[in-house]
Structure 1
């Protein structure tokens, strides 16, 4: 097993000492933390409003790297200051954080596909952790250990940041510029000059919303079709006010439409706003509009829902949900991200109509309906009246629940309170305990009167918990990717799922800090075979290093199948896993012949003698392999580095804190010394 951060640190040191020397083979023995990756089509939300697949993101930052199928690559991107929204797993608040590294590797194995009840989906390697809530609290759990019925974190409150300034045309390559007037250059035509806005305001986002939702957007024209006279006249008004363009009203198959012809407008939208003509299945909101203020975002959403939204006539129709639909999945996910600004969470559904697939965002629950009415609303009276009916219909307040009743019952008993005192009333408590779920509304009411930090944190979180309805394994042979996010080690997928990351930054991954939040897996001996990389390349501060790396299984003193049964595995499966883990330890010992140096990672809060197999220690001594012992978690009161030093009297021991970055300078010096001995 391997801690990737230690691998990263050591690579940096070796890049200084061994650039002209033979490749170094470095073995890592210690706690598990490897192979945490997602597939290249996984789309990541960036703080500036962009949504980029992680495969594209890697290519953007690794253009100068020769990346073949046989390599594993880490790229240091700290100087690029890439900021992403990241959930703090302690406070459960989403904050902007810097991405420090991006990672790729060739992977041949199983991919876990997880689908939630709200229609969110992610594909990841079995070791990739997701945030789960249960009676044990909030923890990161390996995708391979998640089961149907488990609840994972998705975003509820998310605010991105965009500039109100529209990028201006500064060259005359494609345009003739005359003050605030521009005209597209053309060999065969003489396009009309238009005015261009300098800032994003309510008028501009209204125009963009009309174009995205109800318009045919071609190279030289925009045709807006709608049956509502007020919306038609508003579109005409905006074309004239924003761009000084006249429009034409026509009737096409009994549907009124406003036509605006301007090559200059469409060229400017493409160049300055990144809004190019697209087929309906490829439409997306320009990133410039994804992080605006609440009032402007509200107008953008109102116009979109006025055009593409649906509100049922009666509360029983279609499950009484507000619906937004499009042929573009990206477009629908962007609308959900914008709704997150106001705490609104919907569910995704895919529907086939006459051989065409449409993506639907369904907003249910009276809490969501009231938030939508109060924060966004409809301009169209018919839809506004229907929304009022939904809000007063007495529907379920929220479609999401928390499966934490046993946890809450333990807190209640410690506080020595009756159920009526703790839950504020005695209604439905037996059913809540039986079904193991509590509503957000009730938990929020409890948090207002409770001093318990667990209750307050869960009730005030920027996420909700979505239960898994499908977990499937699929064979995969291709590239997988990951990001390292500083401090929080989480990033957000475009559909709202909160994912953990590979830890390659300034400290050891939080997975091994001993906190309640942050463990990757409860399952012992999870890596059960040696993983061998013939050629690893890392780019760091304009230096490039290639070397051999061997990831080894854990080195526990014993492997008991009952350890696996404690994780609710069946006896037969537990025995098989124990056998695999034992074989892995034997294999790890064999690989010592090929090691130039070894780092052994020890939990300083536990008995060191129970963490390291005596056979491996004996083999290290016999082979005279340079060893560095790293005692982690020295920030905790239970930590006892003297015990670790006593257990390894012949080796250098360095104590560090993964959580707080304590003693990292000493760690660097120790790795320098280890490299010299290799």
Structure 2
């Protein structure tokens, strides 16, 4: 009943289009006629991401699988130099397809089909066009927080237990281990009273247990701390720890309290080189859980803090390290998050690190934080449009070297009316591709963001994963070896509004696969019922 024959109309500019009603399906036919060789197959397909691609539900602040995104929700997307909330339509599974894994220097990873576009400084480029060394857009600042209230005690206790807690203790009480008295005092304060209603009992050197009461005897009851951890699904070992959804959905203040407790436990702040003038400072968070490390890296981006995720192998298992490298980002962390007052890390930050940061210029960026060399062409064109030259602006073109932000700042200072000013304070950073590898065959999903036509997935900026820009889906359609004819594809308008599909406009893409040998039986050999079709043909059952 949803199959329609959209009326053909003519726009004011003379272009012709078919008007598809909301929530409808139609059949379309290609302009091209195909004659498939016996050793080649093809598939008309949309550009898609795998289930483990994590996107931001901007309406709640939660980070979820793309497969779990609700229809007519909000995502985070890039527009005019900023990342912000954008409306999105529903998600549709496109079946199983060959995918590839993209990894970047900052540690971001994403699995996508070969034709999925990523944002580069010169525009959108498909994954298959990227190579090692390519620069793609990643999030620098994701200013999105939730609205669900999270009590202060719970935000702090979650951070402490994820960092220093032994949460999976069947038949026993959860443990908390620390040599820092300030952390032990904080855990003791948050456990009782308005907190879980537990007590912190000493359990040997640096060890504490979260018990219902001190001593033995009395009526046996379920451990309240254990029940609390189970409520957040945190009754797991260290390899499986993660940031619970209530933190992602919490307001900025609660997220800061959580990160403060977390970094006070498993975080570290350090300095290298005893000469204060050349003192190198660093901030890290270490975990044996990759998911937890990626969660922390993402939460830091909500405060505008860029970090690098690296993997370091020990004798038995890997450790995942979130590194904050820029002095400006470390200062932002200390200003907006910090460490628990009186803790060892807080004392070091106040007495050693902060005095150094206060005397430094924070507009300088590290080597990886530059604009790709292709941007010189854009700069030249902008200078010409402003009736000047880069040389007259005091810039020396280095076509094989990246453009620094100081060079761009110098140009904008002379020509503040330049449209390139948005690049100075942009919410994206140009990350570098370090590998592209086959990821096998997985189920993939489409999502549509009508206005911005892009969204953030795994902290990377990717294009609308459907070919349509306002809700149009192109159904996956095979082209078998030996088939000849014009291809008929199914189109679906998922939008709540009518949709224009313009005549002779590209709406789909076909990927061809060539074999080393001819097929044993071709579509022509078996007399396929759609062989030689020249017009729009309905299903022949």
Q: Deviations over 1:544-601 (max 9, x none)?
A: xxxxxx97859xxxxxxxxxxxxxxxxxxxxxx9x99xxxxxx99xxxx9669xxxxx
Structure 1 CA distance, aligned partners of 2:378 and 2:44? 28
1:127 and 2:115 aligned: yes
1:366 and 2:327 aligned: yes
Q: Is the 8 A contact 2:76 2:455 kept in 1?
A: yes
Structure 1 CA distance, aligned partners of 2:472 and 2:279? 45
1:41 to 52, 55, 63: 52
Residue aligning to 1:142: 126
| CA RMSD between the two structures | 4.6
Deviation at 1:92, TM superposition (A): 4.1
Structure 2 CA distance, aligned partners of 1:406 and 1:529? 43
Residue aligning to 2:447: 483
Deviation at 1:121, TM superposition (A): 1.9
1:414 to 385, 394, 401: 385
Greater percentage in helix? 1
Residue aligning to 2:424: 459
Structure 1 CA distance, aligned partners of 2:257 and 2:472? 41
> What's the secondary structure of 2:124's corresponding residue?
strand
Q: 1:101 to 1:244 in 2, by over 3 A?
A: closer
1:208 and 2:158 aligned: yes
Structure 1 CA distance, aligned partners of 2:309 and 2:356? 20
Residue aligning to 2:75: 84
Deviation at 1:127, TM superposition (A): 0.5
> What's the secondary structure of 1:206's corresponding residue?
helix
Q: Which has the higher contact order (CA 8 A, sep 6+)?
A: 2
Please give the TM-score of this superposition, normalised by the length of structure 1. 0.59
1:28 to 27, 30, 39: 30
Residue aligning to 1:257: 208
Deviation at 1:471, TM superposition (A): 2.9
> What's the secondary structure of 2:446's corresponding residue?
strand
Q: 1:393 to 1:458 in 2, by over 3 A?
A: closer
Deviation at 1:238, TM superposition (A): 0.9
Residue aligning to 2:348: 382
> What's the secondary structure of 1:211's corresponding residue?
helix
Deviation at 1:242, TM superposition (A): 2.1
Q: 1:113 to 1:248 in 2, by over 3 A?
A: closer
Q: 1:447 to 1:309 in 2, by over 3 A?
A: farther
> What's the secondary structure of 1:371's corresponding residue?
helix
1:331 and 2:292 aligned: yes
> What's the secondary structure of 2:431's corresponding residue?
strand
Pairing 1:116-515 to 2, within 5 Å after superposition = 116-133=104-121, 137=122, 139-165=123-149, 200-217=150-167, 218=169, 221-243=173-195, 245-252=197-204, 254-261=205-212, 263-271=223-231, 274-315=232-273, 320-379=281-340, 380-388=346-354, 391=357, 392=359, 397-398=365-366, 399-403=368-372, 404-417=375-388, 419=390, 422=393, 426=394, 429-430=395-396, 433-440=398-405, 443=408, 447=412, 450-452=415-417, 454-472=419-437, 474=438, 476-494=440-458, 496-503=459-466, 507=470
Q: Is the 8 A contact 1:86 1:492 kept in 2?
A: yes
Structure 1 CA distance, aligned partners of 2:183 and 2:462? 41
Q: Deviations over 1:81-119 (max 9, x none)?
A: 43322223x444332422323222232x4x333222212
Structure 2 CA distance, aligned partners of 1:33 and 1:412? 42
Q: Is the 8 A contact 2:472 2:494 kept in 1?
A: no
Structure 1 CA distance, aligned partners of 2:234 and 2:332? 32
Greater percentage in strand? 2
Residue aligning to 2:91: 101
Q: 1:277 to 1:8 in 2, by over 3 A?
A: farther
Structure 1 CA distance, aligned partners of 2:491 and 2:472? 21
Q: Aligned residue pairs: how many?
A: 466
Deviation at 1:270, TM superposition (A): 3.5
Unaligned runs of 5+ in 1: 1-5, 16-23, 62-76, 166-199, 511-526, 542-549, 555-576, 581-586, 597-618, 627-673
Q: 1:366 to 1:445 in 2, by over 3 A?
A: farther
Structure 2 CA distance, aligned partners of 1:330 and 1:386? 32
Q: 1:98 to 1:120 in 2, by over 3 A?
A: same
Q: Is the 8 A contact 1:116 1:467 kept in 2?
A: yes
Q: Is the 8 A contact 2:447 2:465 kept in 1?
A: yes
Structure 1 CA distance, aligned partners of 2:323 and 2:352? 15
Structure 2 CA distance, aligned partners of 1:488 and 1:320? 38
Q: Is the 8 A contact 1:38 1:482 kept in 2?
A: yes
Residue aligning to 1:53: 65
Unaligned runs of 5+ in 2: 1-16, 33-42, 213-221, 341-345, 474-478, 496-506, 516-521
Deviation at 1:390, TM superposition (A): 5.7
